[in-house]
Structure 1
Amino acid sequence: MSASPLRPTALMTLEEALAQILSRATPIADIETVATESAVGRVLAHDLVAALDVPGFDNSQMDGYAVRCADVAAAAGQPLPVAQRIAAGQFGASLAPGTVARIFTGAPIPAGADAVVMQEDATAAEPARAEDAASGPYGWVRFADLPRPGQWVRRRGEDVAAGKVIVPAGTRLSPAHLGLAASVGVAQLAVVRRLRVALVTTGNELIQPGQCPPEELPPGAIYNSNRYFLEPLLRRLGCEVSVLPPVPDTRPATQAALLGAAASHDVIITTGGVSVGEADHVKPVVQALGALDSWQVAIKPGKPFAHGWIDRRNVAAEGRCHVLGLPGNPVSSFVTFILLARPFLLRLGGAAVAPTLPQTLPLTAQFEWPRPDKRREFLRVRLNAGGELELYPNQNSSVLTSVAWADGLVDNPPGRAIARGDTVRYLPLSALLE
C-alpha cells in the first residue's frame, strides 16, 4: 500500500473510496469451530454442502387424504373407503386401488398415491352399500373436486438436494441459515474467528460520561459520545472490541497506545484528526510505524477518512494492524463508519461484500432542500405515516440527534436541489446496521 497521502484538493467519489478500502481488506485466515446454535452473525469459513435430501421422502403438505387422482375421477363424486391412517413419522402401506389414506402434515406419501386432498375439501360419507362398510376401517369420504397430480405433495429433495452447496462460504449466518444447517444434520460450523478491534480516542477535551457531572464539566470539555455508538456498531458486526482509555495529546502517549493496540488487534479505529493538515499525533505516529493515507471523500457529512497500517515488527510480532481514521464530528463519524468502515470490516472478517451500497428505494420527499452541496449528501430522514420522507431540520454534522431521530438517509447527488413531492433515493438505516 502506498504511504503517500492524497493532495488536500483531491476528492474521490464514494464508489472510488469504497473500492479502494475493500481492495485493502485481505480476509483473515483464522478459523474456529462453533456449535450451530451459537453461530448466528458469524461468517461461514467453508461452503456448507448438504449430505442428504430435504425432505428425505415425498410427504404431505396438509392434513387430508392421500389419493390416486384416477380413483377419485372414476368414483365420480361417490364415497371412497379410508383404508389406513398415516401420521408424521409413520410409513403407510401401499395404497390399494379404489381406496384413500387419512394423512397428516409431514407424513410420508404412501406408494401408489399421487396427490393429497386437504381435509377442508373432503366430506365424511357413508358407503353406497352397507355391506361395504368394513372396507373402510377409518370411514368413507367424498371429494367434490378432482385433485391434480402432485397437489399438496412435498417432493423428496424439494428444499435441499444432497451434494449441493446450501450456504456459501463468506455468508454472515442468520437464524434461517442455522435452521438450514440443522435440517441437514450439521451440529457444528467452521467460521472465521471474530475480528479484534481497538477503539482509540484522543484529545484533552474529551471527558468520559460519569467522570464528572455536567455542572462540573471544565470549560472547553465535551463528553466522548463517539465511543458510545461505535462500540455497539462494532459488536453488531460480531467484532471483539477493546475500548482503550483516552489518550493524552502527546506523541509519546499516542505512540505507546497505538503500539500496544497493534500488538493484539486486527484493526485500530480512531476518531478525529484525519483531516489533511490538522495538528494531531495519530497521523505522524502511524506514518512512522507503517503507513497512512488521508482521503478526502466527496460526501457530506464525512469528507475526511484515513486508512493505514502499523507494522507489528515494531512490537516483535508478525503482520500488520489496520488503522481506520474516522472524522471527529459524531454524524460524520457515524456516516463514514456505516458507508466505508463497516464493509471493510465485514470483508476483513471473511464476509462476501459487494463494492456497492445497498439498494435505495424511490420515495417521495415531504421537505425542501433548496441549497444543495457540491458534494454528495446523506440527509437524515424518516418515514411518516403516509410513507413519505420527513427531514430532520438541523443537518449539521455535529447534531447527533438527527441520527437518533432518523430511520434512513436520503442519498442526494451533488448539486441537486429537492422540492416537496420530488422522488428521492432512500437508504434505510436497517440495511446499513444489520
Structure 2
Amino acid sequence: MSSRSIPIVGICAWSGTGKTTLITTLIPLLRAQGLRVAVIKHAHHKVELDQTGKDTFRFQTAGADQVILASQKTRAVLFEHTEATEVSLKSALELVNQNAIDLILVEGFKHETLPKIEIHRPALGNPLLFPNDPQIIAIASDRLLELEDKRVTQLDLQQPNTIAQFILERIVKRKSPIPTEIRTAPSCADAREPSSLSLAEAQAQMMAAITPIKTVIKQSLRLALGQVLAENVISPINVPAHTNSAMDGYALAGADLPREAIKKLSIAGTAFAGHPFETECPAGSCIRIMTGAPMPLGTDTVVMQEHTELVDESTIRIGTGHKQGQNVRQQGEDIAQGQTILTAGRRLIPADLGLLASLGVAELKVYRAPRVAFFSTGDELRSIGEPLDKGCVYDSNRYTLFGMLKNLGLDVVDLGVVKDEPDALQAAFKMAAESADVVITSGGVSVGEADYTKRILDQLGEINFWKIAIKPGRPLAFGKLGEALFFGLPGNPVAVMVTFQQIVQPALLYLAGETDYQPLVIPARSAQKLKKKPGRTEFLRAIYEQDPAGGLIVRTTGAQGSGILMSMSRANCYLILDEDNAGVEQGDWVKVQPFKT
C-alpha cells in the first residue's frame, strides 16, 4: 500500500511544540465529519503499549516474539524485531487497513515525502522548518507570522476547527459545507478560544507578578496555627530528654538476660516516669519500671511485664528469647538537640503545635497573614435577610469566598454587595485597595458585563482581562489596584469556586510565604462514560470512594452547570479532564483532586 492510496498528512515540529496535542484535538473534529482516521507515530525509544501487570505485558516481557490481543471491539498485534533497524513510513503504511480508513495523520517521519503541516510557536525560540522542508504546505502558529514566501497557508493554532477544515479541503479534497450556524465571536461554548491562556500559563504569569509578604511578627503558639513560619525552628532539647523505657516491665542489664534456662531476678526498686530510680541497679537484679521512666544506672534492657512471672513481691522469673537493648528509647532518638524540625515557609498544622509544645517552644516568628478584602457586584444580588424582588437572587459567592479564605488562615474583610453604579464601584475599589493586600470581586468580568467596571479598573490600576482555558471559570481579571493585588472572578457560583481553588488559592498561599503547596492529585477509575471536547481543562464535581475490591472509583455528582451549587456541596473531589482529553469510557483511569487531604 502506498501513501497515495489514502489521503495522508504529516504534523511536524520541533520536540515539545505540541504535535500530539494538536493531533488528539483534530481526531474528534475529523471524525465528526464522518472520516475514519488512522494515526502513525514515529517513536525513537522502546515501545510499550501495554500496562505493567496485564497478561499481554507479561507475555511480551517474558520473550514472546508476537502477542496478539483480540476482543469484541479491539484487535492488537505486538511484535518485536530481533534486529534494531530504522523503520520507514512505507513499512508502517503496510499495516494500515485500507478498507477501514479515510485519512492518515502522521507524527514524525520528518524526512519522508508527504504533505505536512508545521506547528510553530515563536515563544519557544525554535526556527521554522519551512522553507528547508519543501513538503510543508501550511504553518499552524499561535502568532501571526510575517512570511515572504506565500506558498504556504497560515493557520491559527488556537483554532483547530480551521486546521481540520484545511485538511478536509486540501488533503481529503472535500468541499466545505454551507454554514448554517452563526458565530460572531468566540464564546465559552467553544472548545478553546484563540486568545485563551492554559491553566499552567495563567498560574505562571500570576506567580511571576507576585512578591511574597515578608513582614515578620511574633505569635504565641496557639495563635500561630495556620500561619506560615518565617524562620526554621531548631530543637532546644533532645526528645526523649533521657534514655527511657518504651514498656511497662522490668529494667536490667543485658548481661543478666537468661541464655539457656529460666532465671530468677530480685526486684531492687521501682522507677516511674516522674519519679526515677535514683541509684544504680545492683548486679543480678532488676528494677520495676513504667513507660517513659528514665533507665536506671546499670540497666540497658527492658523485659515487658507480660513476658515475666512474679514469684513474690521481691522476685520475678524471666525466660529466654530476649535481646540486649530491647524496649528502650534512646536520648534524642526522636529529635536531637540542634536539629531543624520545621522549616521556613511551612504552614503550621495542629500536629505541629503539639510537636512544638513537646519542645517547650512558646512563641514563633511567622509572616503577617495577607489582608484580603472582597465584595460582590450586581444589581440583581440581595444579602441574606433582604426580600427577593423579581429577577433577583441571594448573594452566595461572598459566603463561599469567606469560607475558602478563612480556611487559608488569611485576614478577611467582607465589603458586602456593591451596586453596578460607577460611583459606588469606584469608591469600593479604592477603599478595598487602600485597606488590603488583595482585592477579590465576583461578577463584572465576563462578556456583556457593564463596560464601566472595566473602565474603572483601568483607571485605578493595571488589570488584565484573561480568558482561561478551563471549565467552568473562563473569564478572569488579574492585576494591581494601587499596591494591592486584584482578582476578578466570574459571577457563577461554581465558577467562583473553581477559579479560586485552581488559580487564586495558589497565588494567595505564595503571597503568604508558603513554599510547599501542591494540591494532591490521585488516580481513580471512572464509574461512567464522560463526553468532552479537547481544548480546555475541565473540573467536574465528583464523589470518589472505594469499590468492593479496595480500588478507587469516581463518579460525577450529576448536572455540571456553573451555577449549580448543589453539585459542589455534594462533591468530595474534582474529576480533572486535561486539555487534550477527548472523552472518557467507563473504567478508564482519570485524575482526582480531593477537597480534603
Q: What does residue 196 of structure 1 align with?
A: 371
Alignment of 1:240-259 (within 5 A): 240-259=411-430
2:294 corresponds to 1:108: yes
Q: How far off its partner does 1:323 sit?
A: 0.6
Q: 1:381 aligns with which of 535, 542, 554?
A: 542
Which deviations, in whole Å up to 9, do the C-alpha atoms of 1:190-212 show, x marking residues without a partner? 22222211112111111112111
2:363 corresponds to 1:178: no
2:207 corresponds to 1:22: yes
Q: 1:9 aligns with which of 169, 187, 194?
A: 194
The amino acid across from 1:408 in the alignment is C
Question: Residues of 2 paired with 1:18 and 1:123: CA distance?
Answer: 67
2:374 corresponds to 1:161: no
Q: How far off its partner does 1:370 sit?
A: 2.9
Radius of gyration: which is bigger? 2
The amino acid across from 2:522 in the alignment is L
Q: 2:280 aligns with which of 64, 72, 94?
A: 94
The amino acid across from 1:147 in the alignment is H
Q: 1:344 aligns with which of 493, 502, 507?
A: 507
Deviates more, 1:12-21 or 1:330-339: 12-21
Do the aligned residues in 1 keep the contact of 2:346 with 2:516 (CA within 8 Å)? no
Q: What does residue 325 of structure 1 align with?
A: 488
Question: Residues of 2 paired with 1:42 and 1:262: CA distance?
Answer: 23
Shift in alpha-carbon separation, 1:147–1:207, aligned structure 2, 3 A: same
Question: Residues of 1 paired with 2:582 and 2:596: CA distance?
Answer: 25
Which deviations, in whole Å up to 9, do the C-alpha atoms of 1:47-78 show, x marking residues without a partner? 11111111111011111111222211357312
2:118 corresponds to 1:118: no
2:557 corresponds to 1:392: yes
Question: Residues of 1 paired with 2:457 and 2:242: CA distance?
Answer: 61
Deviates more, 1:411-420 or 1:278-287: 278-287
Do the aligned residues in 1 keep the contact of 2:543 with 2:573 (CA within 8 Å)? yes
Q: What does residue 19 of structure 2 align with?
A: none
Q: What does residue 587 of structure 2 align with?
A: 421
Deviates more, 1:255-264 or 1:20-29: 20-29
Question: Residues of 2 paired with 1:46 and 1:281: CA distance?
Answer: 45
Q: What does residue 404 of structure 1 align with?
A: 569
Which deviations, in whole Å up to 9, do the C-alpha atoms of 1:91-125 show, x marking residues without a partner? 32222221111100110011222221111111112
Alignment of 1:229-308 (within 5 A): 229-275=400-446, 278-308=449-479
Question: Residues of 2 paired with 1:280 and 1:223: CA distance?
Answer: 24
Q: What does residue 383 of structure 2 align with?
A: 208
Question: Residues of 2 paired with 1:400 and 1:373: CA distance?
Answer: 25
Q: How far off its partner does 1:281 sit?
A: 3.4
Shift in alpha-carbon separation, 1:345–1:29, aligned structure 2, 3 A: same
The amino acid across from 2:292 in the alignment is G
SS of the residue aligned with 2:257? Answer: helix
Q: 1:82 aligns with which of 267, 273, 281?
A: 267
Question: Residues of 2 paired with 1:75 and 1:112: CA distance?
Answer: 23
Do the aligned residues in 2 keep the contact of 1:301 with 1:332 (CA within 8 Å)? yes
Do the aligned residues in 2 keep the contact of 1:60 with 1:107 (CA within 8 Å)? yes
Q: 1:37 aligns with which of 222, 240, 243?
A: 222
Do the aligned residues in 2 keep the contact of 1:286 with 1:309 (CA within 8 Å)? no
Q: What does residue 183 of structure 2 align with?
A: none
SS of the residue aligned with 1:105? Answer: coil
Q: What does residue 110 of structure 2 align with?
A: none
SS of the residue aligned with 1:101? Answer: strand
Question: Residues of 2 paired with 1:96 and 1:248: CA distance?
Answer: 85
Do the aligned residues in 1 keep the contact of 2:573 with 2:595 (CA within 8 Å)? yes
- The alignment-based identity, stated in percent, is 40
Question: Residues of 2 paired with 1:392 and 1:116: CA distance?
Answer: 56
Deviates more, 1:12-21 or 1:383-392: 383-392
SS of the residue aligned with 1:177? Answer: helix
Q: What does residue 134 of structure 1 align with?
A: none
Deviates more, 1:230-239 or 1:145-154: 145-154
Deviates more, 1:139-148 or 1:93-102: 139-148
Q: What does residue 365 of structure 1 align with?
A: 526
Question: Residues of 1 paired with 2:497 and 2:338: CA distance?
Answer: 43
SS of the residue aligned with 1:191? Answer: strand
SS of the residue aligned with 2:455? Answer: helix
Question: Residues of 1 paired with 2:369 and 2:421: CA distance?
Answer: 32
Question: Residues of 2 paired with 1:370 and 1:75: CA distance?
Answer: 72
Greater RCO, 1 or 2 (C-alpha within 8 Å, sep 6+): 1
Which deviations, in whole Å up to 9, do the C-alpha atoms of 1:150-175 show, x marking residues without a partner? 31111111121111211111111111
Q: How far off its partner does 1:37 sit?
A: 2.2
Which deviations, in whole Å up to 9, do the C-alpha atoms of 1:342-373 show, x marking residues without a partner? 1111121122244xx52322112212113445
Question: Residues of 2 paired with 1:281 and 1:98: CA distance?
Answer: 92
Shift in alpha-carbon separation, 1:270–1:142, aligned structure 2, 3 A: same
Q: What does residue 120 of structure 2 align with?
A: none
SS of the residue aligned with 1:32? Answer: strand
Q: How far off its partner does 1:384 sit?
A: 4.5
Question: Residues of 2 paired with 1:30 and 1:238: CA distance?
Answer: 16
SS of the residue aligned with 2:258? Answer: helix
Do the aligned residues in 1 keep the contact of 2:520 with 2:594 (CA within 8 Å)? no
Do the aligned residues in 1 keep the contact of 2:245 with 2:295 (CA within 8 Å)? yes
Question: Residues of 2 paired with 1:280 and 1:207: CA distance?
Answer: 22
Corresponding residue pairs, total: 400
The amino acid across from 1:367 in the alignment is Q
Do the aligned residues in 2 keep the contact of 1:380 with 1:392 (CA within 8 Å)? yes
The amino acid across from 2:512 in the alignment is G
SS of the residue aligned with 2:403? Answer: helix
